[in-house]
Amino acid sequence: MTNRFLDNLEFGLGASVVLIILFDVFQSVVVPRWTPGYLRLSPLLLDGTWAIWRRVARRLRSASRREDFLGAFAPFALVIILFGWALALICGYGLILHALRHQIQPPPHDLASACYLAGVALLTVGFGDLVPHGDLARLVVLTAAAAGLAVVALVISFLFNLLSSFQRREVLVLTLDARAGTPPSGVALLETYSRLEMLDTLPLLLQAWEGWSAEVLESHRAYPILPFFRSSHEDTSWVSALAAVLDATTLLITTIDAGPQGPARLMHGMGVHAVSDLNYWCGLRCGPEVGVTRAEWEAARLRLAAVGFPLRDAESGWSAFARLRQDYAGPLNALARHFETPPAAWVENRPANPHHSTHLDRKGEREESMSGACQHLDQVRDVTPSARGCEECLQIGDRWVHLRLCRVCGHVGCCDASKNKHATGHFHATAHPIIQSHEPGEDWGWCYVDEQVVELP
């Protein structure tokens, strides 16, 4: 009686495992929408692996190594999920077959032998050393074989859909490189379109990004692993790209007294919807924040006026800008922190990365910016870096995007693409004007006072 009870319990446990895994595969691959993660293996593996992976990445001092390590997460997690599904199905069918061992010739000696038979059936190998002869055992083996073939077929289609969605997402993201800088900036985007006399095509760009936002919302909720796939290009991410376009639409609506108001409002609405839903789907908590000071907004306003944009009244413009930007700034920053992506740049006042090619001639820009002689190179010293990373970020346990070295005192701070902007803060506190890139393979310098690239002695 006891053995019969244990066999029934084993059969029920194995059947439950099989049903849970097949349900997880169905929800993850077949259902084209977000579904709750209750009693599902893949969300558990994805979230657990990411928590460990992110913690290890934050300990890496080199920004390039950290980015390479984070970039490997999504493919690795995908393999882990597929392996987890296969292993769980083998164990589930193994429990069932072990409960039916009296219907198998020769009977499996233990659970491991029953799992071996389940694996042979699931992978449709068919060695024939263990053969079911009972009706129920035969049905289980046939079911395992059918489940194995079905899972393989579904996974292949899943991979094609996943990579196709990733490639469609990255196309528009990469087009911002030449238009909005790296990391992308909404202010730089509007400046580029005005400077190149392309303002009549701006509505088409906003319409394209409206569709992109809708597609990203649907695909990233349907395939929870997709947001973890990172761009292969430096300082580029789907989060920062969306932030830059939303900043551009907010400036068009609140600050600029002309422009495509209709497309800007439609894109802003769709973008905020996508950001809010993705933030809620990830379970992130954030409060309303503008993320830009009045002084930074005024500086951007002057830059837009310099390229010919007519501007609205400053008081009403700032009030409207702050109201609209707080709808998405907090959720976007939360997404950037969660996925460890480069944060968006409000205005880019660091030089372009000379090792990152774009459709614009960045080398020509650097030569042009160095045409005027800097008057502060006499303050440059041979210095010893004060820390292996951003000095202040290390103290508070925060992260950075790139590092900058003060060539006057040796202070190491984070760049303006980083959340804390400690290198610029160090300049304001000490008036030390010259910094140098502290990234491997980069040697350009920057003068804060003259706002130009300098050649360092």
- Given a cut of 70, is residue 416 above it in pLDDT? yes
> 230 — phi, psi (to 5°)?
-100, 155
What value, to the nearest 5°, has the Cα angle with vertex 321 and ends 320 and 327? 100
- Given a cut of 80, is residue 365 above it in pLDDT? no
pLDDT for 433: 92
- Given a cut of 50, is residue 368 above it in pLDDT? no
Q: Are 180 and 237 in contact (CB under 8 A)?
A: no
pLDDT in tens, 283-338: 887 777 888 888 888 888 888 998 889 999 989 999 999 999 999 988 888 898 88
Cis peptide before 183 (omega within 30 of 0): yes
- Domain 2-156 grouped into CATH 1.10.287.70: yes
- Domain 362-454 grouped into CATH 3.50.50.60: no
What b/e readout covers 152-177, taking b as 16+ CB neighbours within 10 angstroms? eeebeebeebbeebbeebbebbbbbb
pLDDT for 357: 33
**Torsion angle (degrees, nearest 10) of CA 28, 30, 36, 40:** -50
pLDDT for 128: 73
Q: Quick one: average pLDDT of 358-362?
A: 34
pLDDT in tens, 148-161: 989 989 889 888 88
> 208 — phi, psi (to 5°)?
-65, -40
pLDDT for 391: 92
- Given a cut of 90, is residue 85 above it in pLDDT? yes
Residue with tokens 């040697």: 443
Residue ranges of the chain that CATH labels 1.10.287.70? 2-156
- Given a cut of 60, is residue 356 above it in pLDDT? no
pLDDT for 349: 41
pLDDT in tens, 88-145: 999 999 999 988 888 888 888 888 998 999 899 888 877 777 888 888 989 999 999 9
pLDDT for 263: 94
Residues in CB range of 358: below 8 A, 6 or more apart: 177, 178, 182, 352
Would you call 132 helix, strand, or coil by DSSP? Answer: strand
Distance CA 27, CA 39 (A): 11
Residue ranges of the chain that CATH labels 3.30.40.10? 362-454
pLDDT for 426: 92
Confidence of residue 177 (pLDDT cuts 50, 70, 90): confident
| Verdict on whether the full-model pTM lies above 0.85 | no
Residues in CB range of 438: below 8 A, 6 or more apart: 385, 402, 403, 404, 405, 412
- Given a cut of 60, is residue 45 above it in pLDDT? yes
Q: Which of 33-47, 183-197, 237-251 has the lowest mean pLDDT?
A: 33-47
What b/e readout covers 62-101, taking b as 16+ CB neighbours within 10 angstroms? ebeebbebbeebbeebbeebbebbbebbbbbbbbbbbbbb
